[in-house]
Chain A
Amino acid sequence: MGALGAVLAPFAEMAASPLFLAEVLIGGVAAGLLYALVALGFVLIFKASGVFNFAQGVMVLFAALTLVGLMDRGVPALLALALTIAVMILLAFAIERVVLRPLVNQAPIILFMATIGLTFFLEGFGEMVWGANVKRLDVGIPDTSFKVAGLLVNRLELAAALTAAVLVTVLAIFFQKTRIGRALRAVADDHEAALSIGIPLKTIWVVVWSVSGLVALAAGIMWGAKSGVQFSLSLIALKALPVLILGGFTSVPGAIVGGIMIGIGEKVAEVYWGPLVGGAIENWFAYVMALGFLLVRPQGLFGERIIERV
């Protein structure tokens, strides 16, 4: 009874303090949007090239490092941003040329391992160029809170959430409305069909890796502004992975909704149940949550019923 009571107690807590709950939920949504942003990077690349890009996390770090590094060297913020974008696009070209093209038609697991290799390389490279110490990234928005209808809202988190929301919308439009976006969707379903549209696979890969790089940059800026640009940034990729189980490797809406769900779930669990088990459960809770969800709904969030053919 005691153990069960301890497990159930947080519900009473929630009911007792709805305002706090709301704050927790808002925090969860904000974190969730960031997860969604990182997850989007995965989804874009996976959808277009079938590559499980483990380097997405290190791309976040690398983008943020580059931006901060440039700003530290006195480059104006906007120019630094433009330069970083250029660097990320250049990186996409380099990856396509050096890693993807020679490995075309290899088994997905080989490509996956190659992206882990890429992770090592970028980590070493980033640190070599920009140094290994923690850097502050000032985006001009103070990390302070204000009250709205009795709720404590963090300015930075709000800005991050808004940016994420805007980015997600832009990407959705990009996929729905532009020619290349449609080609990207097609390529995910059928490589040959995509080729018949007339866009070379090579171009598609460069585009998705560039877009993923930009998404990584956005995530890097927001995360970096919040907790400083440091090595641990590359680990947020791991946080985005449960989102992929939940939302699917190829679903853009899945990544967004999944991200928010994971963000909220994780925050709630951390705040209300974490103390019961000594805390620090955010490392694994998201995974367990995603798995639990799968047991109930095997096809995931937006997956259709799977009909396998023989």
Chain B
Amino acid sequence: MIYREAGQFKSTYASDQAIFPIPQDRVFVLLVAAVALLVPAVASEYWLQAVLIPVLVYAMAAIGLDLLTGYAGQLSLGTGGFMAVGAYSAFKLTTAFPDVNIIVVFLASGLVASAVGIVFGIPSLRIKGFYLAVATLAAQFFLVWLFNKVAWFVNYAPSGTITAPPRSVLGVMVTGPEATPGARYLVALILVAVFALAAKNLVRGRVGRTWMAIRDRDIAAEIIGVRPLSAKLSAFAVSSFYCGVAGAELVFLYLGSAETLAFDIQLSFLVLFMVIIGGLGSILGSFLGAAFILLLPIFLTNAPHAVGLKLPVALAKQLELMAFGALIVFFLIVEPHGLARLWQISKEKLRLWPFPH
């Protein structure tokens, strides 16, 4: 309905293959970007800290998992482990080299996670599907156990926690207790925007097609010339990089400090939920999924208050858990292809309006 596409013709392959080939979409994206940049000026500290920052951080992790599971078809339950690698690497690196820019530290932590991801991706050459999913649990449990057991990772802190030291970018404090939520938000925003773009570039190009080929028809892919080794391991590497950066961000930009419990299996499931609810194989879906999964509990917690219901804390907690589970099932039934599909359908509807298809 909003779209006006008559007369939009492409005369180069570059414009035909653009991420947003329709001008209206480009305008929309620019508007969203502008709004996102202006948010810290208006949003309350609570919103930044409790909603926006985690959404951005988790979106980063979700993109990582989506590249692996949604695009390359390798189901992983080890996200929490890979995120832990990123977080602990960042902690070790920045405490060892305090002068190195924290952004560089984040990226380096991503690379460490990437290497670990390759190692734990090796079983994918032998096994597929749920077998692989279970195998990735090995990464989850082993890595968390490792960080828990080896005191070196926490610089022998007796509490066993890692704490984000104060670091600044361009003179603005972005981590540590003095960093404002606004500053942390902007760092997370820029990081996730840049990496979402990179992810989009990857999936629309050669490597993305390699991954999807393996996902859709691994045998045909191999006969076409896809090397399963490089296709799968590159997916694990790239995915783990994103998860690693997300893990570092989780501690440095969101939580401030964390122990291994923050990276347990629940985190893996949470991110997987985001990817599924958001829509497998969609970068946009990762954002939508992260927002949905994070906002749902907030909504459930506040819903009884909103209608004036006073519940005992324990009961509220249990009801929340039940509602969360039930809503997940409900959502999967209603739209198994996720929010991205809903978005896509609405967009198609708008483009084709008033035709239904």
Contacts and interface: CB of A to CB of B under 8 A. Distances in A.
24 contacts: A52-B133, A103-B333, A109-B280, A113-B273, A113-B276, A117-B327, A120-B324, A121-B325, A121-B329, A123-B325, A124-B321, A124-B322, A125-B318, A125-B322, A127-B318, A128-B322, A242-B138, A244-B134, A284-B141, A287-B138, A287-B142, A290-B135, A291-B138, A308-B219
Given A120-B324, A128-B322, A245 B134 contact: yes
Interface residues of B, number: 47
Given A281-B145, A283-B141, A291 B326 contact: no
A116 B273 contact: yes
B320 A124 contact: yes
B108 to A, nearest CB: 26
Contact of B265 (A103, A238, A298): A238
Interface in B132-152: 133-135, 137-138, 141-142, 144-145, 148-150
A118 B325 contact: yes
Interface string A124-136: 1101100010000
Nearest to B129: A108
A129 to B, nearest CB: 9
A69 B320 CA distance: 22
B141 A287 contact: yes
B127 interface: yes
B336 A110 contact: yes
Contacts of B317: 124
Nearest to B141: A284
A241 B132 CA distance: 11
A85 B243 CA distance: 43
List the 8 closest A-B pairs by CB distance, nearest first.
A120-B325, A124-B321, A121-B325, A117-B328, A287-B138, A284-B141, A124-B322, A284-B142
Given A241-B137, A291-B138, A121 B145 contact: no
B223 interface: yes
Contacts of A117: 324-329, 332
Interface string A266-293: 0000000000011011011001101100
B319 interface: yes
Interface string B69-89: 100000100000000000000
B269 interface: yes
Contacts of A122: 325
Given A118-B325, A125-B322, A310-B219, A294 B137 contact: no
Contact of A102 (B137, B272, B326, B333): B333
Given A116-B328, A117-B326, A284-B138, A108 B333 contact: no
Contact of B145 (A52, A118, A242, A280): A280
A35 interface: no
A295 B133 CA distance: 16
Contacts of A298: 126-127
Given A109-B280, A132-B314, A287-B137, A120 B126 contact: no
A113 B328 contact: yes
Contacts of A128: 315, 318-319, 322
A113 B332 contact: yes
Interface string A161-177: 00000000000000000
Contacts of B272: 113, 116
A123 B320 CA distance: 11
B123 interface: yes
Interface in B142-184: 142, 144-145, 148-150
A295 B326 CA distance: 39
B131 interface: yes
Contacts of A114: 328-329, 332-333
Interface string A92-116: 0000001100110011111011101
Contact of A245 (B131, B265, B321, B322): B131
Contacts of B142: 284, 287-288
A121 B130 contact: no
Contact of A112 (B130, B141, B219, B323): B130
Interface of B: 69, 75, 123, 126-127, 129-131, 133-135, 137-138, 141-142, 144-145, 148-150, 219-220, 223, 265, 269, 272-273, 276, 280, 314-315, 317-329, 332-333, 336
A212 interface: no
- The CB with the most chain B CB atoms within 10 A, among A123, A244, A277, A287, is that of A287
Contacts of A280: 145, 148-149
Interface of A: 52, 98-99, 102-103, 106-110, 112-114, 116-125, 127-128, 132, 238, 241-242, 244-245, 249, 277-278, 280-281, 283-284, 287-288, 290-291, 294-295, 298, 308, 310
Nearest to B149: A278
Contacts of A102: 333
Given A127-B321, A294-B126, 13 more contacts: A99-B333, A103-B332, A106-B332, A106-B336, A109-B69, A112-B133, A114-B333, A118-B329, A121-B326, A124-B320, A244-B134, A281-B145, A284-B142
A121 B325 CA distance: 5
A99 B329 contact: yes
Contacts of A121: 321-322, 324-326, 329
B325 A124 contact: yes
Given A118-B329, A281-B145, A123 B138 contact: no
Contacts of B131: 244-245, 249
Contacts of B323: 124
B304 to A, nearest CB: 14
Nearest to B220: A310
Given A110-B332, A287-B138, A245 B127 contact: yes
B319 A294 contact: no
B269 A116 contact: yes
A108 B130 CA distance: 9
B212 to A, nearest CB: 15
A230 to B, nearest CB: 15
A295 B269 contact: no
Nearest to A102: B333
B158 to A, nearest CB: 15
